[in-house]
Amino acid sequence: MKKILLSALPVLCAALLMTACDDDNATANYSVPLDEAVGSYTGDKLQINVGGQSVLLLSGETAQISGSDANQLTISIPDYAVPGETGLTFTDVKMTTPLFNVFEGTSSNASRDITLSGELRDGRLTLNLTPTYKSDIIGVWNLNLETDDFGTATLTPISIETEQDISGSQFIVQILGTLLKGSMAVVNIDFQADGNLTATYNSNLLNDMMPALSGEQISPVFVHSPLNAIKWYVKDGALYLVPNLNLMLKNDPSKAQLGPLDPGTITTVGIPLYFKKEGDKMTVYVSKEQTAPVFGLLSTVISMIDPSFELSLGGSSLPLRSLLEALVKPLIDAALAAERFDLCLNLVAGAIPEEAPQTSEEASAAAVKRLEAFIAQQ
């Protein structure tokens, strides 16, 4: 027995030694002194997340830590890491060193608060930024269709503001807006406080278009847009939409200009829109300067469509080119000819059930007749 205990003693000692080493590793401090933490971080030494989403940084973009007091450091962030933000700097950042360097700070102004949390570990700086916006457009919005006592539309989801007489174009956009509303093309547009813009759209839209126009039952199939696909912010009275899907274009110089905006601008500054809000109603609109390049492109595309190609809608076949020339071409011509041409999207606050309505809007029921009459006159 004694011999067995003696032979087991080295094994026991080795086990105790390994346990002690593990305990040492568990309590090891990987932090670095302040004078080593300050400096610039870029490339694979820098990771920035905004709202939990990794930010694609351009080559050479840098974050900077500066200061001599661990309770009053300054951290500067690369431009547009947070959509629309340039010169973003966090002051009075506190650094602690539990096991590694940890940073906490806040940047605030009249339109938003941004909290910063981060860590420096093995020479790699990770910064997590969480914006919270203060705009009164935060909330859920839907397409606005208003009617009078006789069921006649007095305000449709899409409208035009101009000084010129373009009654034909107004009629077209009213039909289109009523169609979008009746088919539940997009519902519950949500401007979230963290800068996310989400919505629910009807993936069965093509099959629901004609039933919506004729007042019949629609069969929507709702799909929710993902978080971080589109961000929004308000600056200098304008609303900017920043699509995340185009971030990859920033590093591809072979990409052509996209209308008046290049890909780098779209994915950093964003797409500028005007807006005006009164109570629970909001109108988001684009000016002629913004729409002219798009309308010019549409006109070219329409002229290239095969005249014999037919579109099947509601059991009927319509020549697509003729349909677009009747509906869209007058709108394009009016937009390009007018001195002022604001294309408006009219919204109303409040969420709606994401289910098929029992009956379509009354305005939708009569819209198909007006549409048929309009096409027949062309």
What would the pLDDT profile of 12-66 be if each residue is shown by its tens digit? Answer: 444 444 444 444 444 556 789 999 999 999 999 999 999 988 998 888 999 999 9
User: Are residues 200 and 186 in contact, defined by beta-carbon separation less than 8 angstroms?
Assistant: yes
Say how many C-beta atoms besides its own lie within 10 A of residue 179's C-beta: 23
Q: Does the reported pTM lie above 0.75?
A: yes
- Number of Cβ within 10 Å of residue 169's Cβ equals 23
Q: Which residues of 74-91 are buried (b: 16+ CB within 10 A; e: fewer)?
A: ebbbbebbbbbbeebebe
Please list the helix, strand and coil fractions of the chain in percent, rounded to the nearest 5, in that order.
30, 35, 35
- pLDDT-above-70 percentage for the chain: 79
283 vs 143: CA distance, rounded Å: 10
Whole-number pLDDT of residue 291: 78
Domain ranges of the chain: 34-133, 139-377
Q: How far apart are CA 58 and CA 43, in angstroms?
A: 9
Q: Which helix (H) or strand (E) holds 353?
A: none
Query: Given this model, what pLDDT does residue 377 score?
Result: 57
pLDDT value for 362: 52
Cα separation values, 48 from 84, 108, 122, 127, 194, Å:
15, 19, 16, 5, 16
141 pLDDT above the threshold of 80 = yes
How buried is 196 (Cβ within 10 angstroms: 0-12 exposed, 13-18 middle, 19+ buried)? buried
Tell me the three state secondary structure of residue 98: coil
Q: Which residues are paired to 66 by β-bridges?
A: 74
Place of tokens 């041409």: 341
The answer to whether 342 and 287 are in contact (CB under 8 A) is: yes
Q: pLDDT tens digits, residue range 249-308?
A: 444 434 444 555 566 777 788 889 999 999 999 999 999 888 777 777 777 778 888 888
